[in-house]
Amino acid sequence: MSETTPNGAEPGQANGQPSLRVLAQYLKDHSFENPRAPASFREGDSAPGIEVNVDVNARGFGGDQYEVELSVSVRARRAEDVVFLVETTYAGVFEIANVPEAQIEPILLIECPRLLFPFARQIVAETTSAGNFPPVMLDPIDFMGIYQRNMAARAEQGQAAQNA
């Protein structure tokens, strides 16, 4: 059920309440590599080691609209050999209205990727499965923790720059 106000605005916008809306979400970039196929399917019984990297980028479109990109890279290795590599960037366009400027960055780097993550997770799982490997089911990601660590690192770098 959708709510609108008499003038057609979304509920939070007409009365100045903070709002976060997903205007679009989409697969922006995607690749899968299985460089040793079909040999990779016959190589031993040991499961490959999995390495996961996650990155979040955000940029403004002007006004209250922002694009947020959630990039996920999954690399599987046996010894030094790459068994498979999945790289995907899943993105969304968000409208953030009536939010103080100081709170925009945390919303973009915590809440928006949290909304995008289940879709990126599904794409990675389906891709590895289509590559004849067990689906890689990514564990939930603590975007708040990542944001806090990055803020602490930024503060440290700023302090080091002042002391230099």
Question: pLDDT-based confidence at 36, cuts 50/70/90?
Answer: confident
Greater confidence (5 vs 46) lies with 46
Lookup result for tokens 């002042």: 162
pLDDT of residue 6: 46
pLDDT of residue 81: 87
Tens digits of residue pLDDT in 90-115: 999 999 999 999 999 999 999 999 99
Question: Does 9 have pLDDT greater than 80?
Answer: no
Fold of the domain spanning 16-159: Bacterial Protein-export protein SecB (3.10.420)
**What residue segments make up the domains of the chain, in order of their start?**
16-159
The first and second tokens of residue 55, run together, are 């990155």
What is the chain's mean pLDDT, rounded? 88
